[in-house]
Structure 1
Amino acid sequence: MSKALLIVGHGTRSDHGVAEFDRFVDRVRRLAPAHGIPAVEGGFIELAPPPVTDAVGKLVAAGQTEFAAVPLVLVAAGHAKGDIPAALKRELARYPGISYRYGRPLGPHPTLLSLMEERLDAVLPRAERPGTAVLVVGRGSTDPDANAEVHKVARLFWEGRGFAFAETAFVSLAWPGVPEGLERCRLLGARRIVVLPYFLFPGVLPDRIVTQAKEYATGHPDLDVRIADLIGDCDGLADLVLERYWEALGGDIRMNCDSCVYRVALPGFEHRVGAPQRPHDHPHDPADPHGHHHHGHGHAHEHGHHHGNAHGHGGHGHAH
């Protein structure tokens, strides 16, 4: 029999973002019976309810003590590598009888690239592609491996689609920012630029992308700057989550950890190797059963640097 599915999001202060996450979980829940999935729940690790502990509690109350946890994140940054596994580890202490298998982040994946292309097509006729630059904007991270993955997405998106070129920018924590990314496009000769957010759902940071892009466009009236929509709640995204679910259950999870900041001493990040794995304190989460309050969110690796671990009792190594 198939195991339950737990969808774990980062969390957002945006009511629209929370509502879209809830709609997406409902979408996957409606698809679940056709896939033999007995139950689907979703929760956040911080910033908004419902917390992960509530979602796990619902599964346990329904008799579902085995589940696959899929991180609803695009890149393998700190949340997927440390925060979510640590939060799930805390649930093992809260519910000693449960076990789970941990899936990998969603991107980069051809489905995501196709969905991004659909969003771009909504603001740009295909005939205009040859003279258009695309600025793919990621969240940004202090993890260089995660930032490099956004660059990879931009390159994969550009390949074979007929755009003039693609550049990469970040809305927080990493350079170049949105204005700098747009300026790079301008200096490379672009007169028409589509800003393409690499984000799933609405939130504070996607709103900031729109604000910064519009401000730049106002200051450069000679440029045609267009802003594509987010990936959003859709069937394609649900299909990808289900794919990650089946990967986790089958043990067929492939992640490249050769440049993981928590495993490899990258220049300037040597202090992160083997850092302790601690979850965020969720504002709606009850105190941990042993009375520990975890501050900060260092990330330690159990996340698959026990290669090939079958997570029978919550081990969540990614069989790379």
Structure 2
Amino acid sequence: MFRKPVRPVLLVVAHGSRDPRHAATVHALVRRVRSLRRGLRVETGFLDFNSPSVPEVLESLAAEGVRDVVALPLLLTRAFHAKADIPAVLADAPGALRIRQAAVLGPSPLLLTALERRLAQAGLTPADKSSTGVVLASAGSTDPEAIAVIADIAREWWHTGWCAVRPAFASASLPRTEDAVRELRDLGCRRVAVAPYVLAPGFLPDRIARGAAGADVLADVLGPAPEVARLLLRRYDEARGAQPILGSRPLAASARANTGAS
């Protein structure tokens, strides 16, 4: 008798935070993902601060007899956590699990749509676009690849009709949000908006909000926006089509080869 293949479990890997709003937002996003694809098992694991941890979830899945898992980093850029932390955690997973690590969420047109949604919810209309400068405010990174991606996104977004778009960073990199706000004022933008390019509230998003004090509009974090939930499922589907990694040790070796880690 033909049996429908069992879909891999989707394990959403979140960073975690001492701020309770972070985990609450992650869980809200996961609930939206589940609502979009009934029957898909979606679990959540955290790298730090919150529970369950990623190793705890993987151990539990293996004990249940689960064999296939897609681990999806809840990250907007491919920086240290995606290149090193997450592969290292997955490398210690029970050997019976076949794990695929999905790509990070960004960049994606869906994220630009989610940013536009948040700005609209903050009060901007399509008629405001040509006179409004936007600060694309991200958490920041020491990884040059991640910084370059944010700059590329800002340039791409500007071409959709905004007066100007400038990247800014809450940590590790410059300029800061308040500096980008001043630059847009100096450029002559009639209105300045700050769009946090972050997924959930926490310490760095709060820093972005403080830096936005001189702006006219501050959008909310991306959170459980429907576009973000759809993007999680897109990354899951893309990873399902990849060759599964048998056991976890080859995964670690592959990650080292791809990132130059030793």
The answer to whether the superposition gives a TM-score over 0.5 is yes
Q: Residue 29 of structure 1 corresponds to which residue in structure 2?
A: 34
Moved over 3 A (4+): 29-34, 314-318
Distance 1:18 1:310 in 2: 29
Q: Residue 287 of structure 1 corresponds to which residue in structure 2?
A: none
**8 Å contact kept, 2:16–2:46:** yes
How many residues matched? 248
Q: How does 1:113-192 map to 2 (within 5 A)?
A: 113-122=112-121, 123-160=123-160, 162-192=161-191
Q: Could you say what secondary structure the match of 2:57 adopts?
A: helix
Distance 2:35 2:57 in 1: 17
Q: Residue 106 of structure 2 corresponds to which residue in structure 1?
A: 107
Distance 1:62 1:24, change over 3 A: farther
Deviation sequence 1:112-140 (CA, Å, 0-9, x none): 11111111122212211111101101111
| Match for residue 71 of structure 1 among 67, 73, 92 | 73
Deviation sequence 1:50-105 (CA, Å, 0-9, x none): 211122133223321221111110000101111111111122xxx22112011100
**8 Å contact kept, 1:11–1:45:** yes
| Match for residue 229 of structure 1 among 215, 220, 231 | 220
Q: Residue 55 of structure 1 corresponds to which residue in structure 2?
A: 57
Distance 1:22 1:61 in 2: 23
**Deviating more after overlay: 200-209 vs 70-79:** 200-209
| Match for residue 16 of structure 1 among 21, 46, 50 | 21
RMSD between aligned residues: 2.0
Q: Deviation of residue 7 (structure 1)?
A: 0.6
Q: Counterpart of 1:43 in structure 2: which amino acid?
A: G
Q: Residue 4 of structure 1 corresponds to which residue in structure 2?
A: 9
Q: Could you say what secondary structure the match of 2:245 adopts?
A: coil
Q: How does 1:142-291 map to 2 (within 5 A)?
A: 142-160=142-160, 162-214=161-213, 217=214, 225-251=216-242
**8 Å contact kept, 2:97–2:246:** no
Distance 1:124 1:188, change over 3 A: same
Distance 2:37 2:130 in 1: 41
Q: Could you say what secondary structure the match of 1:42 adopts?
A: strand
Q: TM-score by structure 2 length?
A: 0.88
Q: TM-score by structure 1 length?
A: 0.73
More helix by share: 2
Deviation sequence 1:218-274 (CA, Å, 0-9, x none): xxxxxx5211111111332221111111111102xxxxxxxxxxxxxxxxxxxxxxx
Distance 1:29 1:129 in 2: 34
Q: Counterpart of 1:137 in structure 2: which amino acid?
A: A
**8 Å contact kept, 2:98–2:244:** no
Distance 1:184 1:201 in 2: 26
Q: Could you say what secondary structure the match of 1:137 adopts?
A: strand
Q: Deviation of residue 310 (structure 1)?
A: 5.0
**8 Å contact kept, 2:11–2:72:** yes
| Match for residue 42 of structure 1 among 44, 63, 66 | 44
Distance 1:31 1:58, change over 3 A: farther
Distance 2:212 2:206 in 1: 10
Q: Could you say what secondary structure the match of 1:33 adopts?
A: coil
Distance 2:34 2:92 in 1: 25
Q: Counterpart of 2:184 in structure 1: which amino acid?
A: C
Distance 1:32 1:117 in 2: 24
Q: Could you say what secondary structure the match of 2:151 adopts?
A: helix
Q: Residue 265 of structure 1 corresponds to which residue in structure 2?
A: none
Distance 1:119 1:126 in 2: 13
Where in structure 2 are there 5+ consecutive unaligned residues?
none
Where in structure 1 are there 5+ consecutive unaligned residues?
218-223, 252-308
Q: 2:224 aligned with 1:311, yes or no? A: no
Distance 1:57 1:310, change over 3 A: closer
